[in-house]
Amino acid sequence: MHRTKVRVVEEALDANNTIARANRADFDRAGVRVVNFMSAPGAGKTALLECVVRDLPGVRVGVLEGDVQGSMDADRLASLHVPVTQLNTDPSFGGECHLDANMVRTALPELPLDDIDLLVIENVGNLVCPAEFRVGEDARIMVSSITEGEEKPLKYPLMFRACELVLVNKIDLLPHLDFDLDKFLYNLDTVNPGVERILVSAKTGEGIDEWRNWLSRVGSPVEEMV
Amino acid sequence: MHELSLSGAIVETVEKHAAGRPVSVVSMRIGALRQVVPDTLEFYFGFVSKGTVCEDARLEQELIPARLRCAGCERSWEIELPIFMCPQCGPSGRVEVASGNEFEVESIEVEEAECIARR
């Protein structure tokens, strides 16, 4: 036996990125725009989708709901008569804490791509791993709720840098919390200068029109995203 | 916690290049912006590599510092904290990451049986 050194020089996530590009090509062929929707658990992803999915002018929405277990969120959205496909990471994908390109690929045959213009992939609630794995999306959106504190962008820069839009949710709680909004926005600009942000409340409806407009712009069949 | 997922990605990449040969060393280049904890990665790598060509392989990790560059003022600097604003241009700067995003398998060492036909 002897040892041979083999030069590799390859991003370890290339395998995932290759599958993500294949997903993206399939979505493009079907004329479907895709957003990867991410946040910590309980930030309000599902609630923010409930606010807008039924009411996107000219855009037919479908949701791919990622969870470790259960279909509670999918059931909530399905009750709004939106096509929802559940993707559980347990047991088929070892209970993974995020969706990756391959998991989304396995769900492709179940997605009604001919009947939708926009697919929202609601990722598993987690501020860490989802930021690492592209799934074939056109845009990435994250939700940060103000109950999580001002310092989250500094603690999870990978996630806060991995998105094109930050929804700052639960803004109705501002009078009741010690949360310093200016400090949060300063931290956000420190980590991802100038990233688009919308202050929203799924409860009171504040900012929801703007959120709806953003999403329908992305999902609109004629709009070209960069 | 993402070290578990990342370990899986390392093993997958190495398997492609090892062509079934047992691997003794995996050398990685890891950028500071990836927020990888070296000990945690080593722990999970040992765990995930069980039963693969990487079983018992040593994981070498070269840490690449995070360097930013501002296209506005052409300044370049190293960061420790995740501050992506140009100290000179502020919010109007155009900051790019020059290094620090790497998560790369640089090389591997594989065990090979002596081959008579080898020159």
Q: Which of A104, A126, A169, A147 is closest to A39 using CA atoms?
A: A126
Nearest Cα of chain A lies from the Cα of B97 at a distance, in angstroms, of 11
Identify the CATH class of B2-66+100-110: alpha beta
In chain B, domain spans: 2-66+100-110
Cβ-contact A80, A54 below 8 angstroms: yes
* A157 near B CB under 8 A: yes
First-to-last C-alpha distance (Å) of chain A: 52
Strands B103-112 and B23-31, sheet pairing: antiparallel
Question: What count of other Cβ atoms lies within 10 Å of the Cβ of residue A110?
Answer: 12
* B88 near A CB under 8 A: no
Fold of the domain built from segment(s) A14-219 = Rossmann fold (3.40.50)
Test B17 with A132 for CB contact under 8 angstroms: no
Q: Which of B67, B5, B60, B7 is closest to B33 using CA atoms?
A: B67
Q: What residues of chain B lie within 8 A of the CB of A8, using their CB?
A: 13-14, 17, 105-108
Per-residue pLDDT tens digits for B2-53:
899 899 999 999 999 999 999 999 999 999 999 999 999 999 999 999 999 9
In chain A, domain spans: 14-219
* B70 near A CB under 8 A: no
Name the pLDDT band for B105 (thresholds 50, 70, 90): very high
Token pair 């506005």 is at which residue?
Answer: B72
* B63 near A CB under 8 A: no
Per-residue pLDDT tens digits for A150-204:
999 999 999 999 999 999 999 999 999 999 999 999 999 999 998 999 999 999 9
Alpha helices (runs of H) in chain A, residue ranges in sequence order: 14-29, 45-52, 72-78, 101-107, 152-155, 157-161, 181-191, 208-219
Question: What was the ipTM of the complex prediction?
Answer: 0.84
Name the pLDDT band for B118 (thresholds 50, 70, 90): low
* A18 near B CB under 8 A: no
Query: In chain B, whose CA is at the least distance from the CA of A152?
Result: B82
